[in-house]
Structure 1
Amino acid sequence: MPEPAVAYVLKGYPRMSELFIASEIWRLEQLGLRPRLYVVKPADEPAHHQVVDRIAAIPSYLPPTTPLSGQPLLPWLRCNLGAYRPALTRMARRHPLRFARAFAAAAAQSIRARKGRRPRTVYVKEFLQAVELADRVLTAGGIGRLHAHFAHGTTTIAWLASMLSALPFSFTGHAKDIYRDSLNPAGLLARKMRAADFVVTCTAANREHLLRIAPGADVALVYHGLNADFARLVSETNPAVRSVAGPLRVTAVGRLVPKKGFDVLVEAIALLCDGGLDVTLTIAGEDGPAGTPLREQIADAGLGEVVQIKGPLSQGELLELYRGSDVFALACRVVDDGDRDGIPNVMVEAMAAGLPVVSTTVSGIPELVRDGSNGLLVPAEDPCLLAGALLRLATDRELLHQLGRAAAVTVAEEFDGDLLAKRMGTLFAGPGS
């Protein structure tokens, strides 16, 4: 008899920004596991990564809903309840006690997290989605647990569906989903952690943070590792030959959002230019709220011919960019609402391509980048120190090449995605496996 399957609960699938999730699912399939995919929102991205085409699991999408934020609950229910009514009826009839328990949990959280005198209605929506999920999982059969990615909405749905289905659940927490209190108000994250079979997170810094929230919870560290598409590309191409002279070619990759610190990096580049260094900076990534002020900063500093901003790139295009660069840099920071990077996946990619990384000591970055060993680290929010680290590599190309070689070794030895997927498989199999 085959091992019970794991039902993955995802907010969206496939997503260009969540290649690490698709890689995890594909690698688990290669290990003989049979993840089944349950997706909260309809597919809304026309493009996807190559690894998605190699995944056997066919996603099951929950009924779409209209936006609830700022809307009165009763009109929203009249518009959306019909799609969920069959599952509600079946679950209430077949498992009335479980149904009542899950409804009570959702109602209690709505009251605990109320704004003023008004309960938070989002938990009504998530209860409906949990009922639909539990109904589908029980009807399908052969499923032994639920596992959600991201610790807020999808995990709340998995938590409630666990009550409804009597199946254990677990979840993976990543970044803002575990640091922003507003995403898990009124102690909800601790409540879900205590109810979960186990929790997974992708940095040791995250693990320490989560254990402060729910001491005694079972929190496992499993790094994302190098994604499957990029690992294949790196293995199929020859290593780049770095220049020993010429301009310092700096690359940064990430969505244009404040936590990436692109403004600090541009300020560091301006300082280097003022000091007479021949340097270029290429920024690649999806536009975001920091995009317009960043472009204005570049123009005001007269760096239009020094700094280039590209849009999002494919994995092949990213590898080409890394191979044509000398240094990867990100000035990551913690923003006012607590959001921050864990270990940016692009750093793992750049290091796999043989680039040394210059970054900050924020969150889990020092777990990947070891100062003076495979990269250089400086405190956040300090463009002068960041410029100094870049200048050090510009004037010592032997050190630059040494750090780049060590970076590739670090990824190969410690961030091998196949080995890390086996760790996930062991967690799913349970104690003693």
Structure 2
Amino acid sequence: MTPHAAAPRIEMPVPREAPIRIARVLSRLNVGGPSLHVILLTAGLNDDAFRSTLIVGRENPREGNLLAHARARGVEPLVLESLRRDLHPLDDGRAFLHLLRLFRQWRPHIVHTHASKAGALGRLAARCAGVPVIVHTFHGHTFHSYFPPPLSWLFRTLERILARWTTRIITISPTLKEELIQYRIAPAEKIVVIPLGLELERFVESDRFRGELRRQLGVDAAIPLICSVGRLVPVKNHALLLQAFGRVLQHRPEAHLLVVGDGELRPHLEAMSDRPPLRGHVSFLGWRDDLERIYADADLVVNSSLNEGTPVAVIEAMAAARPVVATAVGGTPDLIRHGETGWLVPSKDPEALAEQILYVLDHPEEAARVARAAHVFALAHFRADQLIQRMRELYRALLALPEGERAPLLQASGDSLRGS
């Protein structure tokens, strides 16, 4: 070897027989859609054909975690204390070295990373360890509405580099795929759409709990109950919802708002809600693991985000046959066809949001019809068994291809969402 020759990259052998070993990496197992997603995949891909291991980092304060949820499904995650969502050079270096050691010891056939930090460290470690197939899922992106423009530019540049090392990129909605292409993260042929899969059965039966939450909260059945579910963080833009709700109260002074979730902005949002006209009309419930009871008594579910991948709370509300009003951001328009499976409003427009909330409250028969259509749509497209089967097919297809042919692959069935 000449002094300037590149060192050969060590490749792990592609499996000739089952089981296929998968190492799945997520930055943290906080309450939210990505955590539910990886738990389902890890549990569903542990059989004679696949062996899955889930590696997660630590959560930030107020984020909650789904560790008990994972264990109830037979998943015992390996927790790396050094793996965290925030930038921290020392811990990031430790997490990378830990992942590299694990991959060299376990010799997985596939490393599948989820979300930004795990995606960066996990893919780099997998490449250095010679893993044959590297897959990354974008559950959304942080290219706007999260960080200052220079930092967003840096993250876009990093993702373009990482994409070159990635066998296949997955997005959870067609719109998200289009955004990655527009940001030049990867070419279209390298990106497949595989929608979320969720355990929706408990939401289908939510009507049997109707009245329980209202009795607990002392809210009369005649009072309009509006609900929001999600992390209390800037990108979810609960401030917009509170501004809109203040306008709603001018016309429906008896209305009440439930805010389900927690996060760094909770003290600020509670302070906003403790001033007229909101005082006495907003309840903060924190994290709840009985969302079927929450949706059962909600007249309307609202999502006011600045940016989304595919909002899990919207899918859950649809499965529970609850009307949904949401900002038209990210992958939300792939879920909601305006006036057919819900209602969309512009982002950052409290007047438009208030007007749409009032419209839904004032037209209960139309709201019920739209909610029934949304229920059918959610159950047809976002079941857990569909997700697991689609991922099985993708993994087998990638492993069956010679290394030089792993870039092109036919699109997964998720693109059919748009025209459904």
TM class by smaller structure: 0.7 to 0.9
Amino acid paired to 1:298:
S
Q: 2:104 is paired with a residue of what secondary structure?
A: helix
Counterpart for residue 173 of structure 1: 138
Counterpart for residue 193 of structure 2: 221
Residues 191-245 of structure 1: CA deviation (Å, up to 9, x unaligned):
111211101111222211222322355111112132x3xx2423555567799x8
Report the CA distance shift for 1:320/1:68 in structure 2 as closer, same or farther (over 3 A): closer
Report the CA distance shift for 1:417/1:210 in structure 2 as closer, same or farther (over 3 A): same
Equivalent position to 1:269, from 230, 245, 258 = 245
Which stretch of the first structure deviates more once superposed, 51-60 or 184-193? Answer: 51-60
Report the CA distance shift for 1:53/1:43 in structure 2 as closer, same or farther (over 3 A): farther
**Identical-pair percentage:** 24
Amino acid paired to 1:182:
L
> Is the CA contact 1:193–1:217 (under 8 Å) kept in the aligned structure 2?
no
Q: Distance in 1 between matches of 2:240 and 2:84?
A: 39
> Is the CA contact 1:348–1:411 (under 8 Å) kept in the aligned structure 2?
yes
2:202 is aligned with 1:233: yes
Equivalent position to 1:283, from 252, 256, 259 = 259
2:387 is aligned with 1:426: no
> Is the CA contact 1:152–1:177 (under 8 Å) kept in the aligned structure 2?
no
Counterpart for residue 11 of structure 2: none
Cα offset for 1:270? 1.3
Amino acid paired to 1:254:
G
Amino acid paired to 2:53:
R
Counterpart for residue 256 of structure 1: 232
Counterpart for residue 409 of structure 2: none
Equivalent position to 1:298, from 269, 273, 283 = 273
Report the CA distance shift for 1:251/1:8 in structure 2 as closer, same or farther (over 3 A): same
Q: Which is bigger in relative contact order (C-alpha 8 A, separation at least 6)?
A: 2
Counterpart for residue 392 of structure 1: 359
Equivalent position to 1:133, from 102, 106, 110 = 102
Counterpart for residue 71 of structure 2: 53
Report the CA distance shift for 1:308/1:182 in structure 2 as closer, same or farther (over 3 A): same
Q: Distance in 2 between matches of 1:63 and 1:325?
A: 38
Q: Distance in 2 between matches of 1:67 and 1:370?
A: 33
2:162 is aligned with 1:192: yes
Q: Distance in 2 between matches of 1:396 and 1:6?
A: 49
Unaligned runs of 5+ in 1: 81-121, 334-339
> Is the CA contact 1:178–1:210 (under 8 Å) kept in the aligned structure 2?
no
Q: Distance in 1 between matches of 2:333 and 2:86?
A: 40
Cα offset for 1:155? 3.5
Report the CA distance shift for 1:146/1:298 in structure 2 as closer, same or farther (over 3 A): same
2:19 is aligned with 1:8: no
Q: 1:214 is paired with a residue of what secondary structure?
A: coil
Residues 148-201 of structure 1: CA deviation (Å, up to 9, x unaligned):
111334433333322323422111112245656737647221111121110111
Q: Distance in 1 between matches of 2:85 and 2:344?
A: 43
2:113 is aligned with 1:144: no
> Is the CA contact 2:70–2:76 (under 8 Å) kept in the aligned structure 1?
no
Equivalent position to 2:54, from 29, 34, 37 = 37
Cα offset for 1:58? 4.2
Counterpart for residue 83 of structure 1: none
Counterpart for residue 19 of structure 1: 36
> Is the CA contact 1:151–1:171 (under 8 Å) kept in the aligned structure 2?
no
2:374 is aligned with 1:407: yes
Report the CA distance shift for 1:239/1:408 in structure 2 as closer, same or farther (over 3 A): farther
Report the CA distance shift for 1:375/1:31 in structure 2 as closer, same or farther (over 3 A): farther
**TM-score for both structures, normalised by structure 2:** 0.77
Q: Distance in 2 between matches of 1:146 and 1:63?
A: 20
> Is the CA contact 2:85–2:117 (under 8 Å) kept in the aligned structure 1?
no
Cα offset for 1:372? 0.2
Unaligned runs of 5+ in 2: 1-16, 215-220, 402-420
Q: 2:109 is paired with a residue of what secondary structure?
A: strand
Amino acid paired to 2:43:
W
Report the CA distance shift for 1:50/1:405 in structure 2 as closer, same or farther (over 3 A): farther
Report the CA distance shift for 1:69/1:21 in structure 2 as closer, same or farther (over 3 A): closer
2:287 is aligned with 1:312: yes
Q: 1:325 is paired with a residue of what secondary structure?
A: coil
**TM-score for both structures, normalised by structure 1:** 0.75
> Is the CA contact 1:151–1:178 (under 8 Å) kept in the aligned structure 2?
no
Q: Distance in 2 between matches of 1:42 and 1:299?
A: 29
Q: CA RMSD in A?
A: 3.3
Cα offset for 1:287? 2.8
